[in-house]
Structure 1
Amino acid sequence: MSSKPRQDDTLNPRTTTYEFLGPPGAFLIILGVPATAYALYFGCSATSGGCPPSLDIIPARIQAAVTDKAWWVSLWDTQASLMYFAWYMYCVVAWAVLPGDWIEGVQLRTGEKKQYKINAFSTFLLTLGITTGYIMRFGPESFTFIYHKWVGFMTAALMMSVVQALAVYAASFRKGALLALGGNSGNPIYDFYIGRELNPSIGLFDIKSFNELRPGLILWVLVNISMLCEQAVRRGGLQNVTYSMWLVLAFQSFYVADGLYNEPAVFTTMDITTDGFGFMLAVGDLLWVPFVYSLQARYLAFNPVEFGPLVALSIFAVNALGYYIFRDANGEKNDFRNGRNPKNLQYFTTARGSKLLTSGWWGRSRHPNYFGDLVMAVAWSLPTGFETPITYFYVIYFAVLLIHRQRRDDEMCEKKYGKDWEKYKKLVPYRIIPYVY
């Protein structure tokens, strides 16, 4: 009997290490992510009695809700679900019909390179144009339906996440599927969560990169616009919308626009090159991004925070600083990867022949782009004031997420570069925040 390994075993080795504490951790996150999204709404809304409500009444409220069949039924909204499905299909159709260049991704283990269509930014512009025209024609009140059907939209996004994750998990067992190195453990709970197949696709339609850039990110901006419209209706018109709301909308819309405009950059990120597509990415893209990242705008819709131009300019400066660090650091890295070094940055060459930057932003920390991201995250929460810590949830969550990503990246680099990585860490000791961490 031949001991020669099958091709599938060579390309798709069994995953031997776990992240997120393995299957128990994956199971808890599968339950915990949706629960947190709902908790942020029910614990911080116009009807919750505070943001958060008094801590002594929360346990009784939770018990009353989960034991009440009517409460569970209220999480579903057929109209909102149909609208969400129509939105998702609109994004698919826009991907298909709008013109866009096709670019190659990184080389896969098979030696092949996937082709990706680039038109997320044009989809964004088209959507903003339609939305603006709709509001101008029918007034701000016509676009408050996202605010009023919030729970129904969240449930629809969650259902879409679960269905997609189940579908791609089942499809990953077909012959010839290229699996993610971290998603082939053999444990169904863990693999369903982390993502078993690397690049699930339907023909040329790549499901992972599509979800990463279009339905959730663009919806995030539409959600914020709906929150602004709700505040406008409550305060008697768009002319009475607060500086705080305009700042949140401007900051987050610009962030999304910048990401979509620089769409090719996403195809070199860990999400695309390394992680499989499963529940983790599906629920993150479709539920978490539009309905948790918009928490500040939703809070301001029912609890306006007012301040003058000087405070607004100060918060704007914080966001501008974060964006400058983020963009300039990424610019240094991209130039260097493409063989350019306009700033004459210092570097050293590893035994593998790779070159690692040791000056500029990348000499200040190993992930200066993450530092810029964190500064922007603080700026997005500052317009909500300091009455509640809930609106700073994004800052705390994002810090944990970026630290986890940094540690994953460091582990990969340690395996890749060996002793050279230890040398690099001595030259660049700080991980994200210069002189702090």
Structure 2
Amino acid sequence: MIDYAQALQRLLQQVMPQAAESCLLADAAGRISAGAVHSPIALPTFDHAAMDGYALAADEPLLAGSEHAVSGSRAAGDGACASGGECCEIMTGAQLPAGLNSVVAVENTHMLETHADGTPARIRLLQALAPGQNVRYAGSDVAPGTPVLSAGARLDSADVMLLAALGIGRIDVVRRPRVAIVGTGKELQADATQPLVSGRIHNSNGPYLVAALRAAGAHVLLCETVDDTPATYIDALRQAVDAGADLVISTGAVSMGRHDFVPATLDRLGAQQLFHGVAIRPGKPLLCARLVAGPLIFAMPGTPMAVAAAIRFFVSPMLRAMAGQAAELPLHAVLDTPQQPKPGLRHFLRATLHQDRDGRLHARVLAQQQPFRIRPFAEAGAWVVLPEGAADCARDSMVEVVGLLHGHPPRIDPPPP
């Protein structure tokens, strides 16, 4: 049995970066950028009015009480033009006419005369106007050539807004890792719409893995449930290989019992074993191997929390590495519930988080940590990580916390009453 850091290192040494592919910007949210993106244009692309009012030429401050003849009107979307005079009515977002450099808000003017059609003809300033006032200058938000997105960044809606404003309709993103899921166990009933047969249980690991892996940015190729025989397991592995899987995740039959056939089956297939057994809780019997000229096989116990911990602390770092992302940075919180972890094991504990009045983050480890219990996991907002040498952790100790899922921050609940 090896420790967590050794296991993760061996796992990451097997990771191959994913290739890039072109993606429509409309489909890019949640994807990982394959390279840095630089602005092709200035943003704004031209000098324009920040508000409705009048554009004027103000090489020096214009004093309150000064009067100005109005020539023409400009609305957002009108093309470039010369001023044709000393003052022009202008609307928010409209391009400044050439020769005019400042905008006075309409509420800071008094109408003196109108044309026959009712448009402004002459105004008086009610306040002084400084050169450049109320103008949004070209490039003041983004200059041409400015880096706007780094390689390995997960695109969110704000990135989509910025790239769209820059006229970028497609972007190179990292191809989603292709993952196949194989759940073992004759006790598993895959069809949740049917009443349970005696001795069977609903398959919760399969739907969880599909949801968690998709949320982490993976492309789930298949999710198969097989019985406790090597033949059906091998057949599912072949399906995964034929589908082009980069990674196969299996659950169950990986420990030391008489029906735990996965280790021997992988040996018989000639798979290169990277490790079998990691000093963690939950999930100690984890196994990782690589098929000959094939994908990685990550086999985990079938208990729900062993599956959840393995996905969060092994598969998630691997998916980040495949996408060219750096390792994530953990948060730290004040521990509200003392812990006595077993020496020599790294513990992954379900917890809730809240902030105190001083803004400090607090973690409360939930009472029922047995690996078969699912409800505490659904109630949790984060994992608390206690390293192998943590010893007894007193109340008010600082502990490491991470979100329940890769790419999703911890959930912070309201403070307790």
**TM-score interval for Structure 1 and Structure 2 normalised by the shorter chain:** under 0.3
TM-score, normalised relative to structure 1? 0.22
More helix by share: 1
TM-score, normalised relative to structure 2? 0.23
Q: Which has the larger radius of gyration?
A: 2
More strand by share: 2
